[in-house]
Structure 1
């Protein structure tokens, strides 16, 4: 199969995205090498002593496959009685980490994931094929491999980077490619949910993010697919790190204080699914505080963290004190502002997530502001704030468990 870096280059991805895919391939290669080392030893033994039978106790040590090498499946020992010769052992080892297989019942899984009928029709028509679409197949394989390697891993204190957006010139297969990567991981994800005791309603709501992303993509970019949207949250959901419970979704997050993991938090997100009603919000947070210790008892919770434009205190200049947004703000201790990566970082986030508009590449111009509707308080506040030469910011809030 084509390597992911070459595939990304051929498809016109920028250099940083190509490097990211190369890193995914490198991780997969390292994992494969870890699995294949005993295979090579077994093959060598066969060449030297082809007539000898292998000592089963020795073979059992050779063919032990750990959890990471088996793509997130339970570690197991291969039955030595089935492996009379080293070559047979090698063949058994090669079954570990199979090539990408897209789900056979894709239509059923798409419906389970809350995908609208229109989008189901289009994504099924754009199903990738290894022979016809080798570049996209290689990239989907890299993304699925990353989901499998990181299955159930919490968000590290060092953070998480969204999947690369696809070039605007991408075909329909490319626009839907990342959705296929997420869909391929639904069956193992649901198995994790069952093992952890996650209710069916929570599982459905969690994977329903796929349908939501497709709807937002169409609303913001005017095109079907998911490829133009920076996918930050969906990969976390489809690897078992993020769950939707009521009004909010929550990401299992490691708390780092400079010397490894110091504790665990739940990162609170506010999906764009309607009003941020204070009572509904509190019910969601209370449910998360109760359920996560049951599902992940080895991750004792300190509290909640929320990085969001919703926590920008500047919004108080434009919104009523009893508004849902300011009520939500008051439930967190807002940390001091860190220097943003660009002056307009928060503007872009608010424009994309709150106004459901596609932000420009750089700073917003007067012409950009002229095109923003002025129907809501938030729309008017956004335009006025930027016309005054100011910027909105992403802020981080903390909240301890009650």
Structure 2
């Protein structure tokens, strides 16, 4: 069993983490080992584990499963020093390890079920960090709780995929762990810098907004409204029910007020969504009354490099690979029917993006 006394090379060999993928985890190993104190981890205490899991919104039967596997994970998996290391690096330092794609790889299959449980127990411990950050800002607890409920949501998705208790979706949930993402009403809003290279400009004569792709920068005309590096709000849509138009409208309005009150130093240039739910093609297939179509039509198109959106299979059918025969794909909703028809016509779905300017949200009509 790996212990805190192991060197970084010995530990990573024992965990089968010698792939280049895990290089970001090698940082500060000696420092975290010197500070090793597992008693600071919520999962070391059954009562605290139960309370934390219930606060996040796990059902009683799920909490019981978490507790049933907890003892074996703590005592037999050998992963506790690694869990402590990441907990320490993400939350216990003045200069925490960035929570991003590079620092949240999946654990190797050689670790078996313990590896599938690792992020569940890590996040049960780590959520106290965004909880504390929100509390410092005065963010209402119900918003923090709704945001961190994503840990529950993804545990349920991954457990269904694996056929046993599991949480393997670490990449997405790391967005939550430094309090840069909040769920406000139906939607989630993430503070970030724009990392796409397109430019949005307003024509000084007509006032028209236009997007310029990476290879069109020499054609930019007018006042630049949005470019790479600018602060934006990135919008995400959790799989938690219908996309009611009025509910989403209120979510936008409340989010803008939220940032003004709790993050006044944050001045976003735009509210952006890089999702299949901004693809203007949906307007060709869906009725005007469709909530998806209404959501799409909120946005100005943001030019992105043409790349097929294979993730739609997961969002529409909860499977990563397409059906070999399109006729086998369920077509129970208007969105599924439109998706399949488009493919049957020999066309592809491409990744899409859209943006809304802050002043446009000010003009939204919210029916209280």
Same-fold call, TM cutoff 0.5:
yes
Distance 2:236 2:21 in 1: 26
**1:366 has 2:324 as partner:** yes
**1:394 has 2:351 as partner:** yes
Ranges in structure 2 where 5+ consecutive residues have no aligned partner:
198-226, 360-368
Distance 1:5 1:166 in 2: 17
Find 1:318's aligned residue among 263, 285, 293: 285
Partner in structure 2 of residue 193 of structure 1: 134
Distance 1:3 1:319 in 2: 58
TM-score (norm 2): 0.75
1:213 counterpart SS class: helix
1:58-80, Cα deviation, whole Å (9 max, x unpaired):
xxxxxxxxxxxxxxxxxxxxxxx
Distance 1:214 1:281 in 2: 25
Distance 1:179 1:271 in 2: 19
CA RMSD of aligned residues (A): 3.4
Q: Report the CA distance shift for 1:313/1:146 in structure 2 as closer, same or farther (over 3 A).
A: farther
Partner in structure 2 of residue 352 of structure 1: 314
Q: Report the CA distance shift for 1:222/1:257 in structure 2 as closer, same or farther (over 3 A).
A: closer
Q: Report the CA distance shift for 1:257/1:388 in structure 2 as closer, same or farther (over 3 A).
A: closer
- Where in structure 2 are the equivalents of 1:3-402 lying within 5 Å? 18-26=19-27, 28-29=28-29, 32=31, 98=37, 101-103=40-42, 104=45, 105-127=48-70, 129=73, 132-134=76-78, 136-148=79-91, 160-161=101-102, 163-167=104-108, 170-227=111-168, 230-255=169-194, 262-340=229-307, 343=308, 346-347=309-310, 349-355=311-317, 357-360=318-321, 364=322, 366-367=324-325, 369-402=326-359
2:339 counterpart SS class: helix
Q: Report the CA distance shift for 1:292/1:328 in structure 2 as closer, same or farther (over 3 A).
A: same
Ranges in structure 1 where 5+ consecutive residues have no aligned partner:
37-93
1:201-260, Cα deviation, whole Å (9 max, x unpaired):
111111111111122223445443112xx33332111221111110011111124688x9
1:27-65, Cα deviation, whole Å (9 max, x unpaired):
x248x39xx9xxxxxxxxxxxxxxxxxxxxxxxxxxxxx
Return the offset for 1:274.
Answer: 0.7
TM-score (norm 1): 0.69
Distance 1:151 1:243 in 2: 22
The aligned length equals: 321
Q: Report the CA distance shift for 1:121/1:144 in structure 2 as closer, same or farther (over 3 A).
A: same
1:274 counterpart SS class: coil
Deviates more, 1:162-171 or 1:206-215: 162-171
Distance 1:273 1:370 in 2: 27
Distance 1:20 1:204 in 2: 31
Distance 1:256 1:289 in 2: 21
Distance 1:365 1:220 in 2: 17
Distance 2:328 2:162 in 1: 15
Distance 1:162 1:284 in 2: 30
1:300 counterpart SS class: coil
Q: Report the CA distance shift for 1:240/1:251 in structure 2 as closer, same or farther (over 3 A).
A: same
Return the offset for 1:270.
Answer: 0.7
Q: Report the CA distance shift for 1:195/1:374 in structure 2 as closer, same or farther (over 3 A).
A: same
